[in-house]
Amino acid sequence: MKLLSIELKKILTYPTFWIFAGLYVLMVLLVFCVIPSIHLPGPPGGLLSVKSYYTFPDIWHTLTYIAGFFNLLLGVLVVILITNEFNFRTVRQNIIDGWSVLNFLAAKIILIVFLAACTTIFVFLLGMVYGLIASSSIDSLSIFSEISFVLAYFVQALAYLCFALFMGTLFKKAGIGIIFFLLYSKIVEPLIGWKLPKVISDYLPFHNISSLIDNPAFKLVGVSVQNTSPLDIHFLFTLIYSGIFLIATYLLFTKRDN
């Protein structure tokens, strides 16, 4: 708790933090609320109505899938927050002032857990409000039957942030950290995945992390295996990858001079 309050003191008057937080909220709201008004082209009469995606319980799947895109913003924010510590040399000062390397890292991990929790709570509240308005039949069974998507979203966001923490620590400079964060997750890994057999490529870090919540539109064409629960093997692997990113970050901190 003490560590979290110190970390919050570092960021609560930081304009960049509020810009990213605001952008995240705005983008999720915008995309989530605009989609129902778009009429998708498709085989006439063959489409499920978009509306079904916005009622309980499917709304959890739809919403967490959309919010997943904007984990990117949170990741970039975390890269900035950690590289600031190197840029300002406050890592060094925090240690001189009395923290151990482990204290410093623990504070950062607590912060990213906190950020992931905040966004998850936001997503949960948004889903509740929208769902209650849009759904015709409301009973607790239908509301919560796919609530595990919200848990999956939390783990997914956390994994992104662990990777961002690792990238920021590895490169120390915000620009380079962000570029490698984006390049790896959006280009390098998909390219590698292309060349590898599917059994392997499905479990590369980012493919795995995004597989946690499938595109809900797959339900349309009936290929989704993920109708009710995202708590599958990808969930387990996401946790494992998060752990690996954190251990790698810890090793970087202890092996080199701060």
Tell whether residue 15 is a contact of another protein (CB under 8 A).
yes
In this complex, which beta carbon is closest to another protein, that of residue 100 or of residue 227?
100
Beta strands per DSSP E along the chain: none
Shortest Å, Cβ 98 to another protein? 4
Shortest Å, Cβ 97 to another protein? 4
- Alpha-carbon distances, residue 61 vs 86, 112, 124, 155, 217 (angstroms): 38, 23, 11, 14, 10
- How is residue 49 annotated by DSSP? P
Shortest Å, Cβ 85 to another protein? 9
Contact status, residue 145 vs residue 228, Cβ threshold 8 Å: yes
In this complex, which beta carbon is closest to another protein, that of residue 83 or of residue 226?
83
Q: Which stretch binds another protein (CB under 8 A): 5-13, 20-28, 117-125, 235-243?
A: 5-13
Choice from 25, 84, 142, 201 touching another protein (CB under 8 A): 84
Q: What angle do CA 255, 257, 258 make, to 5 degrees?
A: 115
Subset of 88-147 contacting another protein (CB under 8 A): 88-90, 92-100
Q: How far apart are the first and last CA of the chain?
A: 25
In this complex, which beta carbon is closest to another protein, that of residue 3 or of residue 27?
3
Q: What's the distance, CA 182 to chain centroid?
A: 14
Contact status, residue 230 vs residue 212, Cβ threshold 8 Å: yes
Tell whether residue 238 is a contact of another protein (CB under 8 A).
no
Shortest Å, Cβ 87 to another protein? 9
Which token pair is 76? Answer: 């970039």
Footprint of another protein (CB under 8 A): 2, 5-6, 9-10, 13-15, 84, 88-90, 92-100, 255-258
